[in-house]
Structures are given as C-alpha cells and as structure tokens.
C-alpha cells in the first residue's frame, strides 16, 4: 500500500511538476483537491481525478475558503434527506471555531419561508439572505480557484499573470424562481461529473464547460443549491468588459487574488 501510494505520487509529479495556481513558475510539492474533500458527503471523494499540482502556499493558504464554501453549499442543499447530520455539524463547528465572523454575515432577521415544487410536490423551504461580503471575502476567491484548476485540467495550460477569471454566482433563490440563463448554460456543451466505477459526484458536484482559443467558461453546480460561473481569459484586456463583476488574477508573490472592486448587488444574496 505504502509503495503503491509513493509510486502514484511520484508519477503524479512527473506529469504535473508545476503549481497550476500561481502563474506557472513554482514547483508543485502537494496535491490540491478541487473541490476539496470536505465538500463531499461523508468526506468521500468519488475519485482522485480532480487532484491538481500545487505549491504549499497555494494549497494550504486557502483552507478557510474551502471550509466556508463547503458549509454554505451543504447548508442550502435541497436533497437534505441524503445528507448525514454529522457532515453539517463538523463544518458548523469548524467554521465557528476558525472563522466565527462568517456567521455574522447571515441576515437571520430577514429569513422567510417559501413554497417550492419538487417533482410535483409542494415543499416549504427557508429563504436565507446572505451579506454580499460573504461572497466577496470567501466564496468568490474559492470559485476563482476552482476555475484555475479546471482550466489546467481541460485546456492543458497554466494561467499566467496576464490571465483573468471573472466570477458570477447564481444562488438557489435564482434556481427556484427560474431566474437563470438557461440558453447560456445549455451552450456549454461539455458536462462533467467526478466518477470512478460506480462512485460519482452526482447531486454534489457537476459542471458544464466550453473552451475556445484563449477563453473558457465553467459553470459549477454545487450540491443542487447554487451555480458559480467562471469566465477565464488568458488576456486581461478581454476581461475588462466585466466591470461590475469580481475579477481575479494570480502571481508568484500573491497567488490567486482579486484585482477588481467587489461586486455588490442591490441588497443581500438570497440562498
């Protein structure tokens, strides 16, 4: 077992020797899972195919984003019957201990109940409003990192310091109200799950993508609760038209970081 693991790890770094998150100039010394293991029910990663080469800084420096993104996705999951309560408890305790300020970004006094129809059955769900700062400080950077990883996986290139990643969120409030760009999402012709044998990421993580020349777009469906859309431009000038959306870049000194003003909608996000 130990020898097989070592051999697999050596083969991985032979194929992927450079960190794919900080511009293409740093030797990879760790494997970064994107999305992270805590994102999956029971911490059961369907397959190891979404492991990416990372330096120590790019891997371990974003744990706070990973934990918060996992909690937000699972908290709003509509397929709640299949979710062990222990998963939620672990994430709540972890975020409460490590990043208690996150819980102050939920507008608890403005929650309301909604009646939605699932498979012909009316069900009552809770509509919770999140402070936009939750997206600015935690979820936008997380989504940007997923885009860097997926671009490397599907386009075979590491985004350098000239590249830009533009993020837009569609929350489950948009999904339930039907306020989603169906035609745009359908135009992303490739549909992906993480799978190995009978194990898949179905109902946990699915994404659509399309790539052409120096542009790609990824649409991530997260625990059937929300969609993170990431537009990836190898040339920063092409991203300038998105002046009202959060834009991210990377560098050897900073890793993945925001280069635009935060995107604030009128009022809080609905989840």
DSSP secondary structure code for residue 243 in this structure: T
**pLDDT tens column, 175-188:** 666 677 888 888 99
Write down the pLDDT at residue 263: 43
Q: For all residues of the chain together, what is the average pLDDT?
A: 84
Condensed to tens digits (0 to 9), the pLDDT of residues 250-260 reads: 999 999 999 97
Token look-up 């050596």 returns: 10
> Taking 70 as the threshold, does the pLDDT of residue 264 lie above it?
no
**Would the pLDDT of 269 be above 90?**
no
List the 269-270 sheet strands across, edge first.
106-118, 121-130, 269-270
Of 244, 238, 236, give the one whose Cα is nearest residue 265.
244
Q: Count CB neighbours of 21 within 10 A.
A: 29
pLDDT value of residue 268: 41
Contacts 24+ apart (CB under 8 A), 28-31: 28/53, 28/54, 28/55, 29/54, 29/55, 29/56, 30/54, 30/55, 30/56, 30/59, 30/60, 31/59
Q: Is 270 helix (H, G, I), strand (E, B) or coil?
A: strand
Ramachandran area for residue 134 (φ above 0: left; ψ -120 to 50: alpha; else beta): alpha
Confidence (pLDDT) at 234? 93
If we measure between CA atoms, which residue out of 128, 77, 140, 125 comes closest to residue 103?
A: 128
- Other CB atoms within a 10 A radius of the CB of residue 191 amount to 11
pLDDT recorded at residue 265: 43
Among 26-40, 124-138, 141-155, the minimum mean pLDDT is found in 124-138
Alpha helices in the chain (DSSP H): 2-15, 56-60, 63-75, 85-98, 132-134, 140-155, 172-177, 182-186
What is the structure's pLDDT at 72?
Answer: 87
**What's the predicted TM-score (pTM) here?**
0.86
Quick: pLDDT tens for 225-243: 789 999 999 988 888 777 7
Average confidence (pLDDT) over 19-41: 94
Candidate from 74-78, 165-169, 208-212 with smallest mean pLDDT: 74-78
- Tens of pLDDT, residues 167-176: 999 876 676 6
Q: Dihedral sign, CA of 94, 96, 100, 104? A: positive
**Smallest Cα–Cα separation from 55: which of 216, 256, 257?**
256
Q: Which residue has the tokens 């979710």?
A: 83
**Residue 151 pLDDT class (50, 70, 90 cuts):** very high
Which residues share a beta bridge with 124?
115
- The string of pLDDT tens digits covering residues 76-135 is 776 555 566 678 888 889 999 999 999 888 765 555 555 555 456 665 655 666 788 899
């Amino acid at each position: 077992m130990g020898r097989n693991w070592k051999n697999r790890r050596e083969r991985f770094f032979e194929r992927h020797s450079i960190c794919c998150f900080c511009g293409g100039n740093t030797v990879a010394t760790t494997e970064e899972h994107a999305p992270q293991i805590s994102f999956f029910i029971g911490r059961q990663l369907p397959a190891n195919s979404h492991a990416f080469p990372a330096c120590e800084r790019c891997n371990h420096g974003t744990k706070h984003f990973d934990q918060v993104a996992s909690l937000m996705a699972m908290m709003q999951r509509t397929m709640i019957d299949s979710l062990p309560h222990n998963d939620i408890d672990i994430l709540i305790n972890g975020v409460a201990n490590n990043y208690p300020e996150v819980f102050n970004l939920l507008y608890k006094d403005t929650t309301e109940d909604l009646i939605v129809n699932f498979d012909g059955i009316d069900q009552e769900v809770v509509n919770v409003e999140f402070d936009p700062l939750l997206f600015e400080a935690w979820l936008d950077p997380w989504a940007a990192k997923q885009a860097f990883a997926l671009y490397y996986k599907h386009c075979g290139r590491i985004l350098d310091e000239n590249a830009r990643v533009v993020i837009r969120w569609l929350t489950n409030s948009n999904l339930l109200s039907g306020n989603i760009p169906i035609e745009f999402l359908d135009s992303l012709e490739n549909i992906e799950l993480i799978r190995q044998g009978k194990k898949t990421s179905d109902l946990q993580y699915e994404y659509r993508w399309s790539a052409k020349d120096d542009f790609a777009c990824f649409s991530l469906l997260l625990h059937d609760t929300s969609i993170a859309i990431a537009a990836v431009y190898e040339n920063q000038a092409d991203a300038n038209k998105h002046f009202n959306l959060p834009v991210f870049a990377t560098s050897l000194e900073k890793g993945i970081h925001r280069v635009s003003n935060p995107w604030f909608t009128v009022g809080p996000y609905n989840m």
